[in-house]
Chains A and B, each alone.
Chain A
Amino acid sequence: MKDKLPLILLIVVGFMGLTDRFLPHPAPEHLNQYMRDTLLRIISAFALILGLGNLILRHMNRIRKKSTDWPHSYTLLISFFVASVIGLFGGVAGELWFPTRVGTFDFNITTIYNQMLIPLGASMFSLLAFYMASAAYRSFRARNWLAILLLGSAFIVMLGQVPIGYRISPAIPEISQWIMEVPNTAAKRGIELGITLGVLATFLKILSGIERSWLGSGR
Chain B
Amino acid sequence: MTQRVITADGLAKLVTEWAKKGAVYAPVKAGSKDWTEFRRVTSLKETDFSRVNTKQSAKGLLFPQREVMLRFKDGKSEEPAAPEEQVILGIRPCDAAAIAFQAKFFTGQGQTDPYFKARLDRTTFIGFACNTPAETCFCTAVGGSPSGTRGLDLLLTDIGGKYLAEPVTDKGAALIADMPDPAIGDLERKLAEKCAEQMPQAIDTAALKRRLDSGFEHPVWDELNLACVNCGACTFLCPTCHCFDVTDEERKGRGARIRVWDSCQFCIYSQHASGHNPRQTARSRYRNRVMDKFKYTVDMVGELSCVGCGRCIIECPAGIDVRETVEVLTRQLPEAAEKK
Mutual binders A and B: no
